Chains A and B, each alone.
Chain A
């Protein structure tokens, strides 16, 4: 089955700096890669996702890049703000039209310091 590794486990940045979180996956057939943000005591919130037919996707301060050859994808957050502090999870799945299982990474605790 799919295995997703995520690094780093913790990340501390100064407000305004950029943050990068990296994930690798094992199943070359995986074609859908979402990123979730989870605040303490809450459910994960989808912040951005990418499918294997594109290499990069951007939404304001958040961007995701995908390298299918190397089987890794990364989350980039620019101009970080204190409210970006949370745990971020990457995930991978093989989509065949709906109802497909996500394999999650182990999470990255991001702390944005003032």
Chain B
């Protein structure tokens, strides 16, 4: 069965410092991995995805994520956090098989708080 874990409910970072939001996954076959961000009273916005190729993926708003197959991880990173990055971040995964494994499975979310 597919699953994704975001071990931290909340991450606190000072503005200007690097940030990391963790994600690990379990899936049959090769994973398709996604990060989304949700601002208050808004839907989820796509940030970046890993499908194949280079393990370091760059996305919107200066975010990047590194796919690590041996550790089954896909941590979200940003070199210098902004107060405006404060939001709820979701990691999601699906396997590259069809059928029910084609559904996107979301983690429970990590609240990122960036303080001035």
Decide whether A and B assemble into one complex.
Answer: no
